[in-house]
Each structure stands twice: as structure tokens, then as C-alpha cells.
Amino acid sequence: MLRLILGLICIVNVCAITSNDLHNKEVEQINNAQKYWIAAPNDITKRGLQYMKKLLGAKLSTDRLPLKEVNVTNAIPSSFDARSAWKYCPSISSIKNQSLCGSCWAIATTSCISDRICIATKGKIKISISAENLLTCCSQCTDPHTAGCDGGYTDKAYLYYQETGLVTGGDYNSKEGCQPYAIGPANPLRLYTPPCSKKCTNKDYKISYSKDKHYGSKSYSLMKDVAKIQGDIMEYGPVTATFDVYSDFGYYKTGVYIKTSNKKIEKHSVKIFGWGDENDVSYWLAANTWGKDWGDNGFFKIRRGTNECGIESQITAGLPKISTA
């Protein structure tokens, strides 16, 4: 019996070593294939591609939002960071964690909405718009017979914000706003979307659901034009970008991401809030939705000006409706 147990332990250890070796080999291959970014293992990549696929799911609508014509009147600086431009808006620096749910589309959209409300009011209104509310209640944001954790459309999300409105709500386990995010660290075998609630789930919040609604005044997409995207960010704030994710993206740690893999997984939505240049490569500065343990404390850079992974052709945004009362 002891011999059998020792044999099983050896088999388990060999499997673990083999798995780690394959993991490290992939990281080494990525780092040897290019010089612009550094790949490193993390909790997401250790769980495998099928796990990472569940964190994606952003979709592109065939009926896109109207294109907004942006007249770039100010000179575009070589670098820009919305966190520095609007220091009084802490939401811009916030990194979200979607947990095991394909809610990137909802989180990236509500993050940009929160930022733009703060920017439009010059810091007078600092709130977090609820990704939970958008994720669970916008049925038109998803495909038929699916729910928000199965993925959604950012353009339809902006229209929902404009037409139906969204309440406030902070991160998981917070007491911020009407409907904080309800999905925390979960069993990796379970993927679910919470039910839509038309009342505040935060019992300590004193404003009613109906009175807590915030609305957009305009929803639009931007042309695949770097200067126009930059001009819109400089005037109104961060934008939502949807791009194709390849198998190597999960390993990103630092530097300017340029894909080395041809294995496309799914689409993903993130927040773009700045740009710059590094090692002779122009980049977009973006916030991911996979927590602070991924990438550069949750942030990443991706090549700008070449439509890397389609990121410049899938930009959506909106303007808030600000009450003057």
C-alpha cells in the first residue's frame, strides 16, 4: 500500500512539473519572439485558456452606434494620461475585477461613464456607475437566450445608459452606491449572471433606485483615426475599446503589447485613457478588468497606430446628461 501511495505521489509530482515546464516554455517563447513587452505567468494563465476565455465575451453589433465627427482643434501631445489630467477623479485610476464572469463589456463601459461624469462636472460628482446594474438588467445588451456573464455589446450598453439609465454601485463587497458588484472570487466551475433587481441591493444606501438613476445624453462610436480618438479622450475622458484577444495576451506583465500568437480566443473590452511612446513604439494606455494582480497593477500598454488586434476600429463612448438644477 505504501509503495502504491508513493507511486501516486510521484505521478502527481511529474504531472505538476510537466505542466509548469510547459507553462514556463510558453513564457520563454513569447519573450524570445519580441523585445517590446515582458511575459510572465499569473493566476489567470495558470488556470489555462478555457478559464481566460470565460473572462472575455465582448461582442460587436452589426448595427453600430453613429460615428461622431471629432474636430481636433488642440495640438495632440506626445503623451497623455487621464489620471494626471483629471487628478480630482479617482475613478480613472480604479482597477476592477470582473471575477469569473464575461462582464468586461459592462465594467469597461460603466468605468468610462463614471470617469466622464466626474470630468464633465469638474470633480463635483464623484460616483461609480454600477456595472452590476448594467450586467444584470440590460437584456438587449446580450444575445438572445444568454445573460450578461456570457458577454455583451458595449454600443448597446451606452444606448441603455442613455435611454433607461443606470444607478450607482461600487466594487464587490463594498458599501458604495445602490448596487455594488455582486460577483466575487468564485468556483471556477461556476459561471452565472445574478438576477436583475429594480431596487437598491445595498441596504445602507439612502437614495431610492429610481432617484439614483443617471442618464447619458449621447452615444457614439469613433472612427479608426488615432488623432480623433485622442481628441475625444482629451476633451471628454476615457473611451471603451473592444479588441481581439490572442493566447499570449494573458501573460502580459509590462511593456507595449504586440501580439506574437495567431491563436485568437475571443473579444475583450477595456478602458483606454491615455497614450505615449516607449522604445520607439507608440502605445495606448489602458485599464483591464482582471484585478491588480494581472499585468502592470491591472494596467497595460498596447501598440498604437497600427490597429493592433483591431483595437482602434472598435471604440465606443458616450456623454453624460448633467442636471443643472
Please check whether residue 6 lies inside any domain of the structure: no
Please check whether residue 16 lies inside any domain of the structure: no
The Cα–Cα gap between 135 and 269 comes to: 14
Please check whether residue 48 lies inside any domain of the structure: yes
Q: Mind listing the pLDDT tens digit for each residue in 80-102? A: 999 999 999 999 999 999 999 99
Please check whether residue 233 lies inside any domain of the structure: yes
Please check whether residue 155 lies inside any domain of the structure: yes
Q: Which residues, in sequence order, are CB contacts of 197 under 8 Å at separation 6+?
A: 136, 137, 179
**Counted domains in the chain:** 1
Cell of 39: 511575459
The Cα–Cα gap between 106 and 140 comes to: 13
Question: Does 97 qualify as catalytic in the annotation?
Answer: no
Range of the domain at 101: 34-320
Question: Does 268 qualify as catalytic in the annotation?
Answer: yes
Q: What is the CA radius of gyration of the chain?
A: 21
Please check whether residue 7 lies inside any domain of the structure: no
Q: Is the distance from CB of 98 to CB of 194 less than 8 angstroms?
A: no
Active-site residue identified among 97, 133, 202, 288: 288
Q: Cβ of 87: how many Cβ atoms within 10 Å?
A: 11
Residue 10: is its pLDDT beyond 50?
A: no
What backbone phi and psi angles, to 5 degrees, belong to 277? -135, 140
H runs (alpha helix) in the chain: 2-33, 43-47, 49-54, 82-85, 104-120, 131-137, 154-163, 226-236
The Cα–Cα gap between 70 and 91 comes to: 25
Q: Mind listing the pLDDT tens digit for each residue in 201-227? A: 999 999 999 999 999 999 999 989 999
Which residue is listed with cell 481628441?
Answer: 231
CATH number at residue 187: 3.90.70.10
Residue 263: is its pLDDT beyond 90?
A: yes
Active-site residue identified among 89, 101, 104, 141: 104
Question: Does 104 qualify as catalytic in the annotation?
Answer: yes
Q: What predicted TM-score, i.e. pTM, was given to this entire model?
A: 0.91
Q: Mind listing the pLDDT tens digit for each residue in 103-145? A: 999 999 999 999 999 999 999 999 999 999 999 999 999 988 7
Active-site residue identified among 138, 178, 268, 309: 268
Please check whether residue 132 lies inside any domain of the structure: yes
